Structure formats: C-alpha cells, structure tokens
Structure 1
Amino acid sequence: MNASRTRALRLPLAALVCSVVLLSGCSDSGSAGSGSAGRKEASTTQAAQAVAPAADGDLQSDYQKVIKDVLPSVVQIEAGGDLGSGVVYDDKGHIVTNAHVVGDEKTLKVTTANSQSPLTATLVYSYPQQDLAVIKLDRVPDGLRAATLGDSSKVQVGQIVLAMGSPLGLSSSVTQGIVSATGRTVSEGGGDGEAGATIANMVQTSAAINPGNSGGALVNLDSQVIGIPTLAAIDPNLGNSAAPGIGFAIPASMVKTIADQIIKNGKVTDSGRAALGITGRTVVDDSFQPAGVAVVDVKSGGAADKGGIEAGDVITQLGDTSITTITSLSEALAADKPGQRTSVTFTRDGSAKTVDVTLGEQ
C-alpha cells in the first residue's frame, strides 16, 4: 500500500478536538397508553436515558485524563521552515520524531508544552529506513515530561486511540479514532519520484492523521504511546489526495528499539531489517507494465553478491512473492529477517535463474 508523508501545510484552520458520543435509542410512546406493558416500556426507556449521560461522561473523562497525561509530552518541531511533531522520550531532553520531519536539518526549534518560546535542539541521528530520528534539546527545561511507551504486542483492533500533534501547524491538537488494523506493511512516497521507506508492522488507525501530525503520538486510553503517526494513505482515484480515515503509525516497540540504539550508540547498530544488497530500479515490459527490478549495482559481500546476482539481472521473485517494482521488492524484504534463507528468481540474457541467498541487514 502506498501512503503519503504527513508534512505540514500552512492553512488558517481552526483546531478541533473530536469525541465519541454514545446515543440512546428512542421509542414510540403513542400506543403504550396506560397498560402495564406500556408502563414497563416507559420505565425501561427512562432508565436507559438516565444511564446514557453517565456513560458519555465516563468516556469523556477518560479522554480528558489521557490528554492531560500525555499532551505535555508532545512537542512541535520546526525544521527548515516546515512544522512537525515529536514525543519527549526521556528526562534528558531526547525527543523521538520522524526522519522526514527532520529532513536534512541538524539544528531544530522545539516548542514544548511549558516553554514560552522555541528551544533549540540538535539532531542525534536520523534513520530514514524506518523513518525515525532522535533529536536532543540543548537545554532541558524544568518540568519536561517523558511519555510512557506501551507494549505493541497488546495493541488490538477496535481499541480506542487518540492522535496528538500539530496538524497543519495547529499545536497541541487531538483527534480520536480506533485501531483499524495491525501488522501493515506500508511504503512511503519519496521525493522527486523516488521510492520512500518501506515500513513493516505499522498500526493502521481511523484517527485523523494530517500534515504536521508526523512524529506525534498515537495514544491508548491507558495514557501510553502505542505508535508514532507517520503516514496518511493516498487515493490514486482522487488525484493522490489523502484517503480519509486511513492513517499509519510506527509501533512503539520499533520506536523504542531504534531510539534506544541511537541514544546509546549515536546510530542504529541492529536494524532488524533484511537486505539483499543491491541498488535497483523498476523495469517495464513491452506493454509498459512493471515487470521486475533491474539490478543497477551489487554491494560487495552482500546477499546478492554471494548468491551470484549481477548488475543487469532482472529480479522477478523473492521466495514465493512475485516482484514487479522496487516497492514490491522492499515490501517483500520487510517481511523477512536478516540471516533468513530465501530464493531469488531473476532473468539474465533472456533466461530465468533461481539462486538461494542468505539475507543481510540493512
């Protein structure tokens, strides 16, 4: 599935905070009259109407508590004139966000919940392959509150979630929805027609994810960050505009794995992402339909090199998965692990060949 990055747009829109309202049913009292059955129905209806406001109030209180707990840990990030969001990771001033929010910037401006003016921050490391980055405040303000990351394995479809960030530059905005699916593999749209990152195990949500939400927080009702909102789906039938109610977040487990390595080592040392060790491009057939990935360059000592794959070969299958584009190859690799043994089918000089390779690490 292709998705667009949620970059900031400068539009003068009003901020909205969404909430769920539980509606009680209505009954027709015209024929109930004065009979005992009518009195019982009326009594039941009155009881339901009495309970409904309390239920509404409970859910509203839950929302307000979560917002009070987590929103102070969500910051606004300005990078080269673009706005995005971030989540305070620890009390030392580390903030996790998306790599595409940071871009090529090394110095950024951060507005925290309790700062009167933007603070400066420095990039620690950006890891575009997973679209994650860590920045660090040059000065840690008093009262900086780190968010609590949840257990991604416990995220369930149907779970109520809130998305917090700075959509369209509107800081401290909150939207609500549910977890629509888990385990999605999604490919970002790259700039200038290039393929972006392919990310596995994404959390799909119906909570509104708009430009500027990137790097913010997807939060459960236990006030735990379960994901970092990153992408909004696009609909090719609507001119590649955003498809409402389909957004994606990087799961908290991956965020923690990558952020901990960056903070400890200054870089990612164990990505957990499989690699074939090639540079490739999509090729088309005589009908101008995508027909495989042409190998442009082979990394010396990589999986493809050890398997005998050469520049000019056209990869058409990885394991049991047909490969037609560079994106489909990236998505197939995202489902595998480094060290895994798999087969690669390719054509060379018009003949098909299949070799076994041991996947490397990206």
Structure 2
Amino acid sequence: MRRVIYSLLIILIAGISALSGAIAGGAVIYYFVQNQPQLVIPTPTESLATETIASDEPQLQQIIITDIDSAITDAVDKVGPAVVTVVGTLNNSRSGQTVSGSGVIISGDGYILTNNHVIDDTVEVYVILANGKELPTQIIGGDLFSDIAVLKIDNPPPQIATFGNSDMLRPGESVIAIGSPLGDFKNTVTVGVISGTERSLAINENYAMDGLLQTDAAINQGNSGGPLVNLAGEVIGINTLILRGGNFGTAIAEGLGFAIAANKAQAIAEQIIEKGYFSYPFLGVRYQWLTERIIQQYELPVNGGIYLSHIQPNSPASKAGLQEGDIITQIGDQIINQEHPFINVLYTYSPGDTTTLNIVRQNDSFEVSITFGEHPNP
C-alpha cells in the first residue's frame, strides 16, 4: 500500500509547559476522547418455555464482562507502579519551559524506556513516580529514527514492567494505554483494542516509521513514552504518536493512535543501555531524494532512488568506488522508491554487513559490492 506523507498532521504526543502554566508546544496537540457504549445485560424472561435459555445467557455474559474488567484492573495494578511521568527542561529556555511525557521502568537497575522526542533538546530531566515522588534521572541515550530513549534513576524502582511478545498480537485484542496526559494526570488509564499491526507512517520523503501498532485506546498529549499493555499486564508497545487525517486538518480521523512494537523497542533500548546509542549502518554520503518532479525535470534514466551529492573520503562509499553524481536505485534486493525510502532500506542492515548497490552513472547501470561501516555516534 502506498505510504501517505501526512504533512504537519503526524503529532508526537509529548506535552509542553512553561513555568506560568501548561501550554501546547510546536505541533503538539491532543484531541482524542474515547466514548465507549455502556454494556447492558438483558433481564431474563419469566416465560417457562424460555426459562433456561433466558436465565443462563445473561449470566454467561455477566461472567465474561466481569472477567474482562478484572483482567484490566489486575493488569493496571501490575504495571501501574512502573509507569512514570517524565519532565524535562528545554535547552535555551529562558522562561523555564518544560516538556512532559511518560515512561516505564524496565529493569531493577532503574532504566526507564521513553520516547526520544520527549527528552530531545532537554538539559535536565526528572521523573515523577506513581506515588508522586520526584527523582532526578540520567539520560543514557536516544535514537531519532526509532523515537526510543533510555533514562536511569539511582533509587530502587517501585516496580519493574515485563515485556510481552508484540509479534504475536492480533487485531481485536484488548489493550490498555497508561500515561500522564497533559503531564498532570498521572497514570491515566484508557482501554481499547489493537486496530492493526505493521503500520507504516511516512515522516518525510526520506524516512517512514515502520512496524507500528495501531490502537483506538485514547492517547493524548503527555502519553508519549508510556506503555501499551495487554491483559496479562505485559508491555507490548510504547505509545508514540497520534494521527490527524484530512486536507489541512479539516477532517479528523479519530482513534488513530500508534505505538512502537515492544520487541523493537526492547532491542533498541538494550543497545542504548550497552553503548549509549543505537548502532546504524554507515555509507558515508550526502544525497538528494529523487522525486518524480526532479526525475522529469532533468530527464533522468531512473524511476526512483537517491542522487549522491558528496562522497566522504575513506568512507564505505568511497572504498566501493562511488562517485558524486551517481544514483543509487537499489540496495540488495530492494528497489528504492516511495514505498521503500532509502533510510528504511539502509537500516534493515547492520554495521559490517556486505551487500550490493545498483548504480546509475550517466547512462550506465552496474552493481557494486559494499560493506557498511558503523554510523558515528551522534
């Protein structure tokens, strides 16, 4: 399915406030309200002919509903104490402007998983536990592309969240979102279902967030970095963004919340804890994404790809013989196009991997072998 670039309509859901009070910052908005119909249990009829059926079925429904309610409250009791409010002071903010989001404690060492956009460009971060206690934190590292970051507290954590297997999720499964909307309403709980898996949203022409979980559990400003939990009380996602659809915001697509799948978030967090950053493959080029307009304007002999405007000396690209003016149209078996942006294709590889690049140089097409380096630590 063609990816659609939702210009200015993809909203990261960290909350921003100033000392004088909470304000909305940048493109951050909130607008979701979950309206769930009240369940009505039918009253058994007294007719003798239908006495058994009429009396048993409502009892079964009542048991099912009670079991679901108990599962939700048990799950919240299990993971709730591990959910924190994350507050950071923005860099170069004279008025003490702060950004707030959520996070979840994932280890006995005090490591906390949150979104990178919650702590990006902050100079000081602290967390507020579910019991209201404030604790200073250390920023271990973050990753822009996956929107994952890791913090650490020195105090013994009140609770540790456990991860579930996000690869096993199916649409329709009940889920719970826990976080701090507006930064003030700690451990707010909303309930919904998995609306879809493996969703992909284009952030810009060069990159799309892949493998997202879609949910209709209400996600609001300040929920960024909070956990999406299954009925077993396991973290199966990290809430990250909401989507506003329509032409220039005239139409609102309600119930479109997205979370980073837990398996991906956990793998990235583990590497950030180990290295302080997430390791990506390195090519060593500057490039221009080739849009249809550029291809037509310059009558280029390609259908898509990237135009290399600079080759870094002694980089993997330089060692592979790439030159300025070359066009990369394919990496390995994957053609680069709007559905498969260059960065997404590149980041399916790891540092040290060897593959082939399809190159167009003037009117010649050929393949080169390349071994990726490790992207310098930002």
Aligned counterparts, 1:337-348, within 5 A: 337-338=350-351, 340-348=353-361
Letter aligned with residue 141 of structure 2 = Y
2:296 maps to 1:286: yes
Gaps of 5+ in 1: none
Quick check: 1:215–1:230 contact (8 Å CA) kept in 2?
yes
TM-superposed CA distance for 1:120, in Å, is 2.2
SS in structure 2 of the partner of residue 345 of structure 1: strand
The code of the aligned residue for 1:282 comes to W
* 1:129-168 paired onto structure 2 within 5 Å: 129-137=145-153, 139-140=154-155, 144-168=158-182
Equivalent residue for 1:260, pick from 240, 248, 270: 270
Q: Whole-Å Cα distance in 2 between the matches of residues 264 and 63 of structure 1?
A: 34
Q: Which residue of 2 aligns with 1:223?
A: 233
Query: Residue 239 of structure 1 aligns with which residue?
Result: 249
Residue among 70, 75, 85 paired with 1:66: 75
Q: Secondary structure at the match of 1:70?
A: helix
User: What TM-score, normalized by structure 2, do the two folds share?
Assistant: 0.75
- Whether the 8 Å contact between 2:32 and 2:218 is mirrored in structure 1 is no
Q: Deviations over 1:239-280 (max 9, x none)?
A: 398743333322223333333333344444xx4x55544332
CA RMSD of aligned residues (A): 3.7
Does residue 332 of structure 1 match 2:339? no
What residue in structure 2 maps to residue 355 of structure 1? 368
Question: Is 1:313 matched up with 2:326?
Answer: yes
- How far off its partner does 1:327 sit? 7.3
Q: Secondary structure at the match of 1:213?
A: coil
Moved more, 286-295 or 161-170: 286-295
Paired AA for residue 298 in structure 1: I
Q: For residue 52 of structure 1, report the CA deviation from its aligned partner.
A: 2.0
Aligned to 1:88: 105
Please name the residue that 1:172 is paired with. Answer: 187
Q: Deviations over 1:100-130 (max 9, x none)?
A: 11012242121111234x3322212222232
Determine which of 117, 120, 123 is the counterpart of 1:103: 120
Identity of aligned residues (%): 31
1:292 is aligned with what amino acid? Answer: G
Call closer, same or farther: CA 1:240–1:7 in 2, change over 3 Å.
farther
Aligned to 1:251: 261
| Cα distance in 1 between the residues matched to 2:328 and 2:246 | 26
More deviation, 287-296/304-313:
287-296
Amino acid at match of 2:262: A
Deviations 1:207-239 (A, max 9, x none): 233332211101111111112112333435353
The letter for the 2-side match of 1:109 is Y
Instruction: Give the equivalent residue in structure 2 for 1:50.
Output: 59
Cα offset, 1:350, TM superposition: 4.8
Q: Whole-Å Cα distance in 2 between the matches of residues 239 and 200 of structure 1? A: 23
Which moves more between the two structures, 154-163 or 69-78? 154-163
Q: Structure 2 stretches of 5 or more lacking a match? A: 17-22, 91-97
Could you tell me how far apart the structure 2 residues matched to 1:326 and 1:314 are? 18
Secondary structure of the residue aligned to 2:256 is strand
TM-score (norm 1): 0.78
Q: Which moved more, 1:105-114 or 1:200-209?
A: 200-209
Q: Do the aligned partners of 1:15 and 1:173 also contact (CA within 8 Å) in 2?
A: no
